A = this chain, B = another copy of it.
Amino acid sequence: MGKLSVVGLGPGNTEGMTAQARQTLEEAELLCGYGVYIDLIHPLYPDKKVYITPMRGEIERCRYALEQAASGVKVALVCSGDAGVYGMASPVLELAGEYPEVEVDIIPGVTAALSGAALLGAPLGHDFCVISLSDLLTPGEVIEKRLRLAAQADFVICLYNPASHHRPDALKKACEVLLRVKAPETVCGLARQIGREGERVRILTLAQLREADCDMFTTAFIGSTQTRDQGGRLVTPRGYRG
């Protein structure tokens, strides 16, 4: 029986990996993933075979990993952050039915919502949601509706993919939707290049966030009505006191 493990590596450094992720890579015979993730882990296992996948062609990548596993190779397909949160676990499991001889394991990891939050303080101390602003696979009106309802629900909101080359103003547009419900003084945060060279965080208001520069390596946090800037740390209390 073949085996394919989809492994979340956590933020972009080996310190963020779990022991379970390390053990899974150790046991794998073939490491698959984008170049930047293979660059991170291959030095740990220089003798292992690697397969660097192109940025697009996700389905082909999953099929390649499943086919290798079906041929009896122990395969680890690596993702940054968590394996499941906008990760490869979902497309792999969608295809796995065609490869009944392959056992698929999902190894979770620290996603950017958690690692970015830790750098900023404790913005996720109460109920929160995670929304991707990428409109590649999701209609813009679905994204906008979720933003509006998330603001009405007073969730802390964590935004993935706040910008890309073809959507430089995605974050600005999202902030405009949120500002129809939320106060411009709402406390927000940005975390960039988490766990990598150039890591930095910034606390700012929602009005400032609308004008902020960001890129595809940024995760944005929009506070609930309870979130505060507590001496330079973003904090959402665990309870409501009044």
Copies in the complex: 2
Of the candidate stretches A63-71, A124-132, A182-190, the one touching chain B is: A124-132
Known interface pairs A108-B114, A125-B84; A15-B23 also in contact (CB < 8 Å): yes
Is A16 close to B, CB under 8 A? yes
Contacts of A137 on B, CB cut-off 8 Å? Answer: 238-240
Contacts of A239 on B, CB cut-off 8 Å? Answer: 136-138
- The 5 nearest A-B residue pairs measured at CB: A137-B239, A90-B125, A129-B129, A89-B122, A149-B153
Of the candidate stretches A139-147, A165-173, A205-213, the one touching chain B is: A139-147
Is A96 close to B, CB under 8 A? yes
Known interface pairs A110-B108, A153-B149, A231-B97; A85-B23 also in contact (CB < 8 Å): no
Instruction: Give chain A's interface residue range (CB within 8 Å of chain B).
Output: 35 or more
**Complex contact A19–B20 (CB within 8 A):** no
Is A17 close to B, CB under 8 A? yes
**Complex contact B238–A124 (CB within 8 A):** no
Is A25 close to B, CB under 8 A? no
Out of B19, B233, B240, name the residue touching A15 (CB < 8 Å): B19
**Complex contact A16–B18 (CB within 8 A):** yes
**Complex contact A89–B121 (CB within 8 A):** yes
Closest beta carbon of chain B to A108's beta carbon, Å: 4
A145–B110 alpha-carbon span in the complex (Å) = 29
Interfacial residues of chain A within 47-96, with CB under 8 A of chain B in the complex: 82-87, 89-94, 96
